[in-house]
Amino acid sequence: MRFRQIRRVALGGLLTLGCEASPPSVGPDDALPAGTLGAAELGASHGGGRAGLAGGLGPGGAFVDARVRTAEAMIVEERYEEALATMNEAIAERPEHGQFHYVRGNALGHLDRDKDALIAYAKAIELDDRDFRAHGAVATMTAHGLGDLEGSIESFQRALKIEPGFGVGHYGLGVVLLQLGRSEAALEALENAYSLMGSSPDVLFALSRAKAQNGDLDGAADAGRKSVDLEPGPEGVDLRLAYARILSARGDNQLAAEQLEKTAALAPKNAALQIEVVRALLDIDRASLALPIVETLAISHPKEIAVLINHGRVLAALGRLDGRDGALARFEVARAAKPGVHGAHHYAVKALVRANRCSAAKKALAVFKRTRPPEPQLTKTRALLRGC
């Protein structure tokens, strides 16, 4: 588990932010999965929250061996194997030194060796039960490496009992509580984190979501704006996208559109991000702004299902249904490439209903039924025909 990924892993509901800024995706086929087509840009390294988990002074201001500082510097420079080797050598000389095991765990975590990292952290705690950073690292790894959110809470609380000023601990706890839907408790934890780490874009990002989940869209927008101000470039595109979603939830569609256009411009080669921008623009009825983005994607990724579907959605929103370059043709190409693709059927029916072409919409629904879709999806698509 790379700590720098926690922002996206922990806040996977990036686009909805706990408020109804955007209806849920019809299915997985109208969005590109993480890690696809340049989506790695969304995992770019950031400072703030993760830095406290990967380095710093020893607990309680204890003496820090020079090799600890060396290994931590290597981790910051993404030289994880070298950091691991440095700590292995140090442990061979002084196996009783807890900080060596803690930093070794950090290196292992960055190498995605989660279970080995947990063993290293456990050893650090065995040697020094007051090492709040090790408890925090166990909590983080348990939550985001092993997926045991509930199981992580006790370790976070233990770390914070030892050191109430452990900002990263408050942040990590707040993120877990957000994922568990405990929005009020999450907000309290994240406000504590903000008071200790106010300059962290990660904390502001999480705080923004917590405020939105608690119905405070103005506060969410304020925190979102501050996070964008701290990371205005390509490294902060996820922050800007989330901020735009909050603005649209608050009814500030013009401002949201401006932020979405900036988001797209900051990462032009990130197809996954571009698709999310297109979807967000469609949600605020800005199909004309989405068109040049999706047309560029259609050239660079002509066979991608998500591109085909969203290209069709944009064309349908602009009233361009028919012909070789129309929305229905885009949906048909997607269906032909992947017959069971739910989104292509759903949006084809939706486009036809909106155009008052009820007979054609019913035929499209019948075609969808023959693919034997999951009942919830079929029910959702069938509901579109209520207006016919």
**Which of 194, 223, 250 is a domain's end point?**
194
295-324 average pLDDT score = 97
Pick left, alpha or beta for residue 166 (phi over 0 → left; psi -120 to 50 → alpha; otherwise beta). beta
* Residue at 20 is within a domain: no
| Least confident residue range of 20-24, 73-77, 222-226, 238-242 | 20-24
Q: Note the pLDDT tens digit of each residue in 312-340.
A: 999 999 999 999 999 999 999 999 998 87
* Residue at 209 is within a domain: no
Looking at the fold, whether 70 and 174 belong to one and the same domain comes out as yes
Task: Name every residue whose Cβ is closer than 8 Å to that of residue 270 and which is 6 or more positions away in sequence.
Answer: 37, 38, 39, 41, 42, 237
Signed CA dihedral, 360, 366, 371, 375: sign only: positive
Looking at the fold, whether 169 and 304 belong to one and the same domain comes out as no
Looking at the fold, whether 54 and 163 belong to one and the same domain comes out as yes
Q: Note the pLDDT tens digit of each residue in 249-281.
A: 999 999 999 999 999 999 999 999 999 999 999
Residue 11, CA distances (Å) to 150, 176, 210, 324, 349 in order: 16, 9, 10, 40, 32
133-145 average pLDDT score = 92
Q: Note the pLDDT tens digit of each residue in 181-198.
A: 999 999 999 999 999 997
Looking at the fold, whether 57 and 188 belong to one and the same domain comes out as yes
Write down the mean pLDDT value for the chain.
Answer: 86
Task: Name every residue whose Cβ is closer than 8 Å to that of residue 66 and which is 6 or more positions away in sequence.
Answer: none
| Least confident residue range of 18-27, 79-88, 150-159, 207-216 | 18-27
**Which of 165, 194, 223 is a domain's end point?**
194
Does the pLDDT of residue 16 top 70, yes or no?
A: no
Count of the separate structural domains present in the chain: 2
Residue 91 lies in domain: 48-194
Residue 283, CA distances (Å) to 220, 343, 381 in order: 19, 16, 18
pLDDT at 45: 28
Give the CATH number of the domain where residue 310 resides.
1.25.40.10
* Residue at 267 is within a domain: no
* Residue at 379 is within a domain: yes
* Residue at 248 is within a domain: no
